[in-house]
């Protein structure tokens, strides 16, 4: 979504130019008073950290070339009572992708890389198994997450306690044994694996180690002396410790546990360690159109192209769209102008960077604890809302209210046309009809299943009985039957895909004979189990082949191709993410069923 707030742009330009003919000597506007903003944020951050068990947090707020605020809260090392400071290093996770994209765009700017050339032109070691004809994965489709490369091949991408310097070599080999998830430019699907390959691209084209290149051409001209992509070189004395907060049944914090050091081995997907001080400099460089204190990083015209959504397909039903390395659009801030941003998450560090380029405002927030709500995003939105109000006098609009619409009646056939199983992000939905209303069951076929009655309304949306939200609707887009929903997010109502209807099918004998529980044979032991499932169960549900993974992949329905290869099916809040991943069956020498999924081999144990 690209909400530019350009209404009346021509009139504004004419008015401003004409006003210059009549105006007297210009008077510089006074600097905004940000003291009340800082005071409010200090109180709210402290409260939010206490409520969510967050041990440490860092924040940077900038207004153009003015650093409004950099500060640490809580502890970098709770046991040693070492506080977080503005120079404490945090893993910024996938916010690193913005710098990775800049590295590629520097080469585009120099004429060394063409965005619309195949990725394999610059990374000849990359290949996938053939699935589609005339399916060219370009550099652009990698940068804007429309490539169809299997995206979450996490086996070694991020490790705990020990780095994996061979991960990229392993990834290239693993991808060569996988199929594309879908045709290019079908749907947005956030993609870590594709971004890992950008390190190969830069090193192949320029002939320098990526660590050297990024320091010389990104960090040094930006003045970021303490930041690095090299996950092993960040000094432990400056790096925050990691924590997990757990909560009791009543929602109170029951424990906070110290966790080991983590290493992000897919550098260009998310390995930067940085501080509030350095991230302030990075945001200032971006807001200055690519000009850093020690030199230009990228031309403003190229940077602005990065902030423009690229391919937006009919299936890209979301509150944001992707440019080249940056997300564009934010329902909590779109009222203030164009928003560009990127968040980031490792296992335990979670970050958010948001910019309002039209107002020269930027904020970065990072936390060192997982377990509570994602406070980094809420704090970042609040910080920009308060700063924008202090600078312009404009206040955010009132929260968007659910639209009103009377009940209506649909025929039994009309209701029946909306029933079936729908594959969501990491869940299955089942929709049934009693002839008068629909019943929507989330987590269908699992012990966590919950159901609610949906009533039809005259505006075409279904609403839960006795509630205004969420709204649910059924649409056909590009020949695919979708269940879409409208939910509140940051004061706005946003429309998202909840699930895609799955075809009715009968599970064939070869896969029925493979049902059971499987255990990972060759998973990297240093990868957190939330990223790589150690056990996967295959089961049948009303003719569907269903996979239950112990990782964040969750429950997935699979469609089976004629040759026996299965693919995760559906669409969800993350659109194509996690969908189209191949599960390739095999057997051991003794006939025990096995399969490979996301580069990991699984063997049946029961």
| Confidence bin at 426 (pLDDT 50/70/90) | confident
Q: In angstroms, rounded to a whole number, what is the distance separating the alpha carbons of residues 308 and 4? A: 10
Structure tokens given for 18: 């004409």
Which DSSP string do the residues of 247-302 spell out, in sequence order? E-TTS-EEEEEEE--EEE-SHHHH--EE-HHHHHHHHHHHHTTSEETTEESS-HHH
Residues 483/501, Cβ–Cβ less than 8 Å: yes
Pairing of strands 66-77, 535-541: unpaired
Judged against a pLDDT cut of 70, whether residue 459 lies above it is answered with: yes
For the chain, residues classed under CATH 2.40.128 are 412-501, 509-604
Burial 67-102 (b: 16+ CB within 10 A, else e): bbbbbbbbbbbbeeeeebbbebbbbbbbbbbbbbbb
Dihedral of the CA atoms 225, 226, 230, 234 (nearest 10)? 150
At 165 the pLDDT is: 97
Whole-number Cα distances in Å, 100 to 192, 207, 446:
12, 16, 40
Q: What is the pLDDT of residues 49-83, one digit of tens each?
A: 999 999 999 999 999 999 999 999 999 999 999 99
3-state secondary structure labels for all residues of 457-501: ECCCCEEECCCCCCEEEEEEECCEEEEEEEEEECCEEEEEEEEEE
Q: In angstroms, rounded to a whole number, what is the distance separating the alpha carbons of residues 190 and 316? A: 12
At 11 the pLDDT is: 29
Residues 136/118, Cβ–Cβ less than 8 Å: yes
> Was domain 509-604 assigned CATH 2.60.40?
no
For the chain, residues classed under CATH 3.40.710.10 are 35-113+193-392
Q: What is the pLDDT of residues 466-488, one digit of tens each?
A: 999 999 999 999 999 999 999 99
Please provide the average confidence, as pLDDT, over all residues in the chain: 94
Burial 271-298 (b: 16+ CB within 10 A, else e): bbbbbbbbbbbbbbbbbbbbbbeeeebb
At 374 the pLDDT is: 83
Structure tokens given for 105: 């765009």
β-bridge mates for residue 520, sequence order: 602
| Of 449, 445, 450, the residue nearest 545 (C-alpha) | 445
| Confidence bin at 253 (pLDDT 50/70/90) | very high
Exposed, middle or buried, 28 (CB in 10 Å: 0-12/13-18/19+)? exposed
> How many Å from the N-terminal Cα to the C-terminal Cα in the chain?
47
Q: What is the pLDDT of residues 527-581, one digit of tens each?
A: 999 999 999 999 999 999 999 999 988 999 999 998 899 999 999 999 999 999 9
Residues 60/70, Cβ–Cβ less than 8 Å: yes
Options 1.10.10, 3.40.50, 3.30.1490, 2.40.128; CATH for 412-501 is 2.40.128
* Total-model pTM: 0.93
Phi, psi dihedral angles at 212 (to 5 degrees):
-65, -45
> Was domain 35-113+193-392 assigned CATH 3.40.710.10?
yes
Whole-number Cα distances in Å, 227 to 76, 87, 95, 99, 230:
17, 10, 13, 11, 9
At 416 the pLDDT is: 98
């Amino acid at each position: 979504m690209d909400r530019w707030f350009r209404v009346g742009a021509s009139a504004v330009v004419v008015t401003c130019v004409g006003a210059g003919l009549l105006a007297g000597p210009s008077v510089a506007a006074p600097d905004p008073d940000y003291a009340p903003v800082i005071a409010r944020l200090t109180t709210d951050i402290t409260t939010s950290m206490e409520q969510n068990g967050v041990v440490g947090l860092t924040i940077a707020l900038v207004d153009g070339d003015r650093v409004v605020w950099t500060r640490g809260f809580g502890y970098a090392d709770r046991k040693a009572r070492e506080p977080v400071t503005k120079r404490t290093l945090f893993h910024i996770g996938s916010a690193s992708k913005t710098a990775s994209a800049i590295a590629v765009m520097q080469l585009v700017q120099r004429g060394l890389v063409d965005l619309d050339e195949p990725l394999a032109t610059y990374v000849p070691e990359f290949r996938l198994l053939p699935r589609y004809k005339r399916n060219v994965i370009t550099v652009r489709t990698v940068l804007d997450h429309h490539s169809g490369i299997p995206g979450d091949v996490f086996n070694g991408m991020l490790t705990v306690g020990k780095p994996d310097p061979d991960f990229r070599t392993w990834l290239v080999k693993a991808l060569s044994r996988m199929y594309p998830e879908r045709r290019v430019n079908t749907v947005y699907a956030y993609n870590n694996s594709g971004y890992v390959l950008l390190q190969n691209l830069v090193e192949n084209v320029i002939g320098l180690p990526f660590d050297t290149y990024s320091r010389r051409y990104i960090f040094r001209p930006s003045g970021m002396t303490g930041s690095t992509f090299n996950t092993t070189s960040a000094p432990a004395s400056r790096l925050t410790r990691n924590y997990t907060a757990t909560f009791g049944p009543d929602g109170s914090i029951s424990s906070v546990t110290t966790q080991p050091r983590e290493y992000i081995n897919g550098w260009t997907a998310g390995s930067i360690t940085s501080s509030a001080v350095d991230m302030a400099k990075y945001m200032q460089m971006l807001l200055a159109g690519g000009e850093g204190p020690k030199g230009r990083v990228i031309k403003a015209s190229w940077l602005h192209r990065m902030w423009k959504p690229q391919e937006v397909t009919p299936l890209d039903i979301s509150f944001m769209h992707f440019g080249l390395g940056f997300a564009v659009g934010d329902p909590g801030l779109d009222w203030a102008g164009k928003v560009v941003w990127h968040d980031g998450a490792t296992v335990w560090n979670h970050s958010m960077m948001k910019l309002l380029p039209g107002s020269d405002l930027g904020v970065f927030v990072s936390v060192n604890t997982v377990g509570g709500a994602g406070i980094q995003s809420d704090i970042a939105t609040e910080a920009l809302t308060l700063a924008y109000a202090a600078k312009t006098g404009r206040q955010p609009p009132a929260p968007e209210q659910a639209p009103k619409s009377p009940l209506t009646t649909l025929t039994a056939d009309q209701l029946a046309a909306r029933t079936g199983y729908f594959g969501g992000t990491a869940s299955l939905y089942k929709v049934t009809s009693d002839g008068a209303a629909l019943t929507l069951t989330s987590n269908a076929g699992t012990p966590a299943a919950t159901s609610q009655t949906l009533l039809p309304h005259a505006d075409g949306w279904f609403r839960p009985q006795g509630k205004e939200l969420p709204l649910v609707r059924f649409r056909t887009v590009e020949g695919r039957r979708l269940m879409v929903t409208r939910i509140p997010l940051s004061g706005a109502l946003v429309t998202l895909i909840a699930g895609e209807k799955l075809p009715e099918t009968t599970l064939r004998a070869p896969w029925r004979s493979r049902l059971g529980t499987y255990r990972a044979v060759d998973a990297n032991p240093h990868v957190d189990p939330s990223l790589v499932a150690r056990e996967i169960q295959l089961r049948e549900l009303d003719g569907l082949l269903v996979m239950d993974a112990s990782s964040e992949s969750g429950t997935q329905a699979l469609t089976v191709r004629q040759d026996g290869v299965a693919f995760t099916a559906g669409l969800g809040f993350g659109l194509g993410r996690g969908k189209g991943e191949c599960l390739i069956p095999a057997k051991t020498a003794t006939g025990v069923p096995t399969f490979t999924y996301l580069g990991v081999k699984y063997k049946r144990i029961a």
